[in-house]
């Protein structure tokens, strides 16, 4: 399950506004690479939608079936807001509904079969 925790409004190049919903998964225990200590976190992802700002506001707190998965992407630079540090990442987090996640986890591609 994920919960809608916020939304953001963006403007396209041609001046049209659209919203994305920010969803957050459950609490996870993660081990730090540097200190090797455990800390708690929750993955978040942004999901495009066709809703107005007022509808997005009303959806905050709504729970959806599914989860947030780590997806490998081409490397890109990301600036950490708190420190200004620029880091290189090669993943993003993406919302996947429950049915899609079951299919991805249990169906083999043709390349995996041969």
Confidence check: pLDDT of 14 > 80: yes
Confidence check: pLDDT of 37 > 70: yes
Structure tokens at 88: 């290189």
Q: Which residue has the higher pLDDT, 101 or 25?
A: 25
- Determine the Cα–Cα distance for residues 68 and 26; give it in Å rounded to an integer: 9
Angle at 81 between CA 78 and CA 3, to 5 degrees: 90
Q: Which residue has the higher pLDDT, 90 or 104?
A: 90
The pLDDT-based confidence of 77 (bands split at 50, 70, 90) is very high
Confidence check: pLDDT of 53 > 90: yes
């Amino acid at each position: 399950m994920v919960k809608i925790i916020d939304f953001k409004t963006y403007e396209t190049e041609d001046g049209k506004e659209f919203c994305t919903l920010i969803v957050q998964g459950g609490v996870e225990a993660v081990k730090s690479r540097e200190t090797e200590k455990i800390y708690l976190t929750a993955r978040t992802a942004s999901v495009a939608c066709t809703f107005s700002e007022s509808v997005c506001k009303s959806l905050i707190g709504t729970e959806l079936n599914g989860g947030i998965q780590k997806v490998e992407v081409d490397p890109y630079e990301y600036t950490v807001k708190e420190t200004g540090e620029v880091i290189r990442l090669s993943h993003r987090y993406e919302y996947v509904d429950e049915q899609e996640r079951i299919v991805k986890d249990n169906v083999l591609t043709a390349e995996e079969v041969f």
